[in-house]
Amino acid sequence: MTLYPVVMPVKEATDNLSGRELSTRLSELARQALRMSAERSGVNLGELLKDDEGRPCPDSGNYWSLSHKPRCVAAVVSRDRVGIDVEEMKPRTEPLFSYVAGDGEWGLVDKSWDTFFRYWTAKEATLKVIGIGIGGLKACRVTAVPDEKHIFLDYRGDSFLVEQLRHKNHIIAVVKGDNDIEWVLLNNQCP
């Protein structure tokens, strides 16, 4: 199967929003991106429901995942369990390095902010596939970084392949598995 992750910039329509209003608007935009991913995939999504824990429920055997930040949203639909994450790449505090990965993981590639965001988004996308939150971060381990676009991870004996895209000042990660990826970039930029 080919997955069509849709990446969409967030325009000034959110500039005057904050808190709950901003979160609601970003969620709406991410759902628009999801509908586009479904259309490209030839999938008709019904009502997008979540379970009691807030995890997306499959619709007619189709899984879906959303992610949003103030300047960019991303979404994908798949016949397999799927996860997507987007992050704006900007420095954070140094202690986050040890929170995101252990020494063995940092030993795979140069320790940098770029690698930090690659690891973070890959792990977040993988944890979405598994259906658990950030609490599973330490059990999700990077096992190989073969190139600038792919990362292999392990979660309690299960392996995952993640494909990543750098776009403007964002990095987007989607769990690829055996699927092909065809990125859909709307308006060709995230501000």
Distance CA 143, CA 163 (A): 14
Report the pLDDT value the prediction gives residue 54, as an integer from 0 to 100: 87
Report the pLDDT value the prediction gives residue 11, as an integer from 0 to 100: 77
- Tell me the per-residue pLDDT of 28-40, one tens digit each, with 9 for 90 and over: 999 999 999 999 9
Which of 22, 29, 8, 166 is CA-nearest to residue 88? 166
- Tell me the per-residue pLDDT of 47-93, one tens digit each, with 9 for 90 and over: 999 999 889 999 999 999 999 999 999 999 999 999 999 999 998 99
Residue 25 has pLDDT above 50, yes or no: yes
Confidence of residue 144 (pLDDT cuts 50, 70, 90): very high
Q: What is the mean pLDDT of the chain?
A: 93
Report the pLDDT value the prediction gives residue 96, as an integer from 0 to 100: 92
Distance CA 107, CA 78 (A): 33
pTM equals: 0.94
Return the ∠ at Cα 120 (arms to 13 and 130), rounded to 5°: 95
Domains in the chain (CATH in brackets) are 2-188 (3.90.470.20)
Report the pLDDT value the prediction gives residue 190, as an integer from 0 to 100: 54
- Tell me the per-residue pLDDT of 174-186, one tens digit each, with 9 for 90 and over: 999 999 999 999 9
Percent of the chain's residues with pLDDT above 70 = 95
- Tell me the per-residue pLDDT of 1-11, one tens digit each, with 9 for 90 and over: 999 999 998 87
Decide: 37 and 4 in contact? Cβ < 8 Å.
yes
What are the tokens at 76?
Answer: 């994908």
